[in-house]
Amino acid sequence: MKRKSRGAFLFLTPSVLLLLIFFIVPIILTICFAFTNMALTGSAARNLQFIGFQNFTNMFQDPDFRISVWRTLVFLIFSAVIGQVVLGFILALLMKEKNVTFRRIIGIIVIAGWVTPEIVVAFCMVAFFSDNGSLNQIIGWFGISPVSWLFSFPMVSVIIANIWHGTAFSMMVYQSALDEIPKDIEEAATIDGASNFKILSYITIPMVKGSIVTNMMLVTLQTLGVFTLIYTMTGGGPGTATQTLPVFMYNQAFVNYQFGYGTAISLVLLVIGIVASLFYMKSMKVKV
């Protein structure tokens, strides 16, 4: 028995080593750098010093940081939780047991948004929302004067862009989950006289609960990391109107050249991700 376990350990070593090099060491380094004055240029770039919790004290006193946390939460709730998760579920539900051609056509349209790279999505959306873009031309047909969407409604614009880009993923997750529900359970409920809404809330949703939590977690983590889309569409502006934490982090690290401060912000982002994931697991009572 002992020999066997030693053998198992030997076979595990490569994967543990790989995890250590590519996953754990970078995280530890990030944590260390968050406590330094690391900078890209200037005299601080030469004298790397440990400065304790200075970066974190600065951060919590920085009104820009508080604004960014708020923007991140708004972006997260509307574009990930409400937008992608709910819309994806509705789409999957509507397509359930529909005719194959219909499913395929809708599927292709939605998935087109998902397979498009983030930077391309951003450029498409700029073309859509810009002053003489498609949206203004469409509302022009109804006699409505053009609106500067990216300037007047920057957050709404980036939220719509992220929903367009991400919904297909949720839809596909739910589609496969819904397909796995045995038909006879729902049929039995129908025969017993349950309404569609009751079937949905007492049978369908509880049976795909696991997929919902996994999907919410994935979509949340993905949305927390959205940078290219926002940076390309609005640059975090106008002013700080769409400055989410990743954009704020980029600005501190690569525009202000304060790497230490940037890594401290990235740690906060990591913590938000962990807290959100734990919250989902706890609230849906799913064990991982």
Partner 1 sequence: MKMNKFKVSMTAAMASLLLLTTACSSSNSNSGSGAAEGKQEVTITFRSSGSEDTLTKYFESGLIEKFETDNPDIKIKIAPVLASEGDYTSKIVLQMKSPDTAPDIVAEDTSIIKSDAAAGYLEPLDTQVAGWSDWKDKFIENLKAGVTGEDGKIYGVPATSDTRGIWYNKELLAQAGLPVPFKPANWDEVLEAARTIKDKLPGVTPLNMIVGKSSGEGVTMQTLEMLLYGTNDTLYNDETKKWVVSSPGLLDSFKFINQLFNVDKTGPSMQVALNGQAGSIAFQQLFPQGKLAMAVDGSWAGSTWFENGAAPIENVADKMGFAPFPTQNGQEPGAITMSGGWAWSIPAQSQNKEAAWKFLEFLMNQENATGRVVAEGNLSPRNDSVDVAGYTDRTYTAEAQALLEVAKFRPANDQYATVSAQLQSIVESIASGKLSPEDAVKQLKDNVTRSLGEDKVEVK
Sequence length of the chain is 288
For the segment 228-247, give every residue that binds partner 1 (CB under 8 A). 234-235, 237-241
Residue 113 binds partner 1, judged by CB under 8 A: no
Token pair listed for 157: 């614009």
d(CA 29, CA 23): 10
Nearer to partner 1, 64 or 97 (CB): 64
Token pair listed for 173: 């997750």
Residue 140 binds partner 1, judged by CB under 8 A: no
Question: Which of residues 30, 48, 51, 62 is near partner 1 by CB under 8 A?
Answer: 62
Token pair listed for 146: 């053009």
Residue 255 binds partner 1, judged by CB under 8 A: yes
Residue 251 binds partner 1, judged by CB under 8 A: yes
Nearer to partner 1, 131 or 180 (CB): 131
Nearer to partner 1, 206 or 238 (CB): 238
Residue by residue, DSSP assigns 149-163 as HHHHSHHHHHHHHHH
**Least spacing, CB of residue 225 vs partner 1, in Å:** 20
For the segment 206-225, give every residue that binds partner 1 (CB under 8 A). none
**Least spacing, CB of residue 46 vs partner 1, in Å:** 5
**Least spacing, CB of residue 126 vs partner 1, in Å:** 10
Stretch that binds partner 1, among 41-49, 172-180, 199-207, 266-274 (CB under 8 A): 41-49
d(CA 138, CA 127): 13
Residue 281: other Cβ atoms inside 10 A: 16
Residue 130 binds partner 1, judged by CB under 8 A: yes
Residue 150 binds partner 1, judged by CB under 8 A: yes
d(CA 256, CA 49): 18
Number of residues in contact with partner 1 under rule CB under 8 A? 31
The continuous run of DSSP H or E covering 191 comes out as helix 183-191
Q: How many CA atoms lie within 13 A of 271 on its CB side?
A: 9
Nearer to partner 1, 72 or 251 (CB): 251
Q: How many CA atoms lie within 13 A of 276 on its CB side?
A: 23
Nearer to partner 1, 129 or 174 (CB): 129
Q: Which residue has the tokens 């200075």?
A: 54
**Least spacing, CB of residue 61 vs partner 1, in Å:** 6
**Least spacing, CB of residue 43 vs partner 1, in Å:** 4
Question: Which of residues 14, 63, 143, 193 is near partner 1 by CB under 8 A?
Answer: 63
Closest CA to 126 of 161, 79, 88, 167: 161
Contact 64, 243 (CB under 8 A): yes
d(CA 278, CA 266): 19
Stretch that binds partner 1, among 4-12, 25-33, 42-50, 87-95 (CB under 8 A): 42-50
Q: How many CA atoms lie within 13 A of 161 on its CB side?
A: 34
Residue 49 binds partner 1, judged by CB under 8 A: no
Q: Which residues bind partner 1 (CB under 8 A)?
A: 39-46, 58, 61-64, 130-131, 148, 150-151, 234-235, 237-241, 251, 254-258
